[in-house]
Amino acid sequence: MLRAIIHHPARGLGMHPAFGGPANGAMTKFDAIMTAVTFAERGEAATAQSILSGLGGRLTAGGSRSWGRIAKTIGLGAASLGLYGALYVFQFPILDSTSRGSGSATAAVVAIVFAFSVVHGAFTGHFWDTLGLKAKR
């Protein structure tokens, strides 16, 4: 058993031998890549390659990095920046109209907040998708 652990450390610990993670498949892509890096640093390139080949098509980042997606992300970022700039420029008229307490001013503030939420939220989502990062579900 000790010889098996030394030669294949993942097998002796009840782990999946190809990934070095739990046998139930709970291994994340990051864990698999870091395990492959560890094996590669130890000079065991064949083991590292087998770990990475087991990932197959999952090695690509989660989001599409097409020029269209990048352009959309930049556009949403510019729109978000434009909204912040407009709020900075028109802060005093907005404060003046809301201090009067009219219902239309309150509706305008709610609309501004909603616009910020939609545009900035879309930008943030596209930004992280373009980088290939996804929230764990």
Identify whether residues 54 and 71 lie together within a single domain: no
Report the candidate in 64, 47, 57, 35 with the shortest Cα–Cα distance to residue 128: 64
- Band (pLDDT 50/70/90 cuts) for residue 104 is confident
- Band (pLDDT 50/70/90 cuts) for residue 88 is very high
Assigned domain for 137 exists:
no
Round to whole Å and give the CA distance between 95 and 109. Answer: 10
Report the candidate in 62, 8, 66 with the shortest Cα–Cα distance to residue 30: 62
Round to whole Å and give the CA distance between 100 and 94. Answer: 10
Tokens of 90: 């028109």
Task: Output the pLDDT for position 14.
Answer: 46
Identify whether residues 92 and 50 lie together within a single domain: no
Domain count across the chain: 2
pTM higher than the cut 0.75: no
The residue with tokens 């010889």 is 3
Among 56-65, 83-92, 126-135, the range with the most confident prediction by mean pLDDT is: 83-92
Domain that residue 25 falls in: 2-59
